[in-house]
């Protein structure tokens, strides 16, 4: 069965960070380059133009989880058997959703960045080297930018 390969992936802990390397701090707020058209950011504020580049406020959540060590049948799961993970996200304001692919079984973290302030929900699934996926982790949530 495709969804019964692993025991549940460990709980996700979330942390909103105040700054990231590919962003800039302008007037005490974090901004990231905004490439969409128009003069309004997704949060409704005006696009800020700084040195000829358009910026909007951005919000980041760092996600981490426990690497699974057993399969659903209780047998040992070696780290070399893990190909990676998929982190699924959705937000409450408009039910937008997406997937972050993490391509290493040894990496148990991912960064999620959003322009839209809202409550976001996350769950993780592990994928083995044969492409089989685990069941989803418990859902974790955080509020970004509010």
Higher pLDDT, 64 or 20: 64
Q: For residue range 108-130, list pLDDT tens digits in order.
A: 899 888 888 899 999 999 999 98
SS3 for 114?
strand
Please give the pLDDT value at position 33.
86
* Domains of the chain: residue spans and CATH: 2-9+67-108+116-144 (2.60.40.10), 24-57 (no CATH)
Please give the pLDDT value at position 16.
31
How far apart are the two ends of the chain, measured CA to CA in Å?
Answer: 41
Determine the average pLDDT of the residues in 52-81: 87
* Mean per-residue pLDDT over the chain, rounded: 80
Whether 73 has a pLDDT exceeding 70, the answer reads: yes
Q: For residue range 22-62, list pLDDT tens digits in order.
A: 467 767 777 888 888 889 988 888 998 878 888 888 888 88
Q: 142 vs 2, 49, 68, 92, 103, CA distance in Å?
A: 29, 29, 23, 11, 24
Please give the pLDDT value at position 35.
86
Determine the average pLDDT of the residues in 137-146: 88
């Amino acid at each position: 069965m495709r969804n019964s390969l692993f025991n549940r992936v460990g709980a996700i802990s979330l942390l909103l960070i105040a700054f990231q390397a590919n962003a800039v701090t302008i007037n005490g707020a974090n901004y990231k380059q905004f490439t969409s058209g128009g003069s309004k950011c997704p949060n409704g504020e005006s696009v800020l133009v700084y040195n000829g580049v358009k910026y909007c406020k951005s919000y980041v959540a760092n996600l981490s989880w426990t690497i699974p060590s057993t399969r659903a049948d209780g047998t040992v799961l070696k780290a070399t058997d893990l190909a990676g993970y998929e982190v699924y996200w959705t937000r409450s304001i408009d039910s937008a959703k997406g997937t972050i692919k993490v391509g290493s079984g040894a990496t148990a973290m991912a960064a999620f960045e959003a322009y839209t302030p809202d409550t976001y929900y996350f769950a993780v699934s592990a994928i083995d080297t044969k492409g089989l996926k685990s069941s989803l982790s418990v859902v974790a949530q955080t509020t970004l930018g509010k």
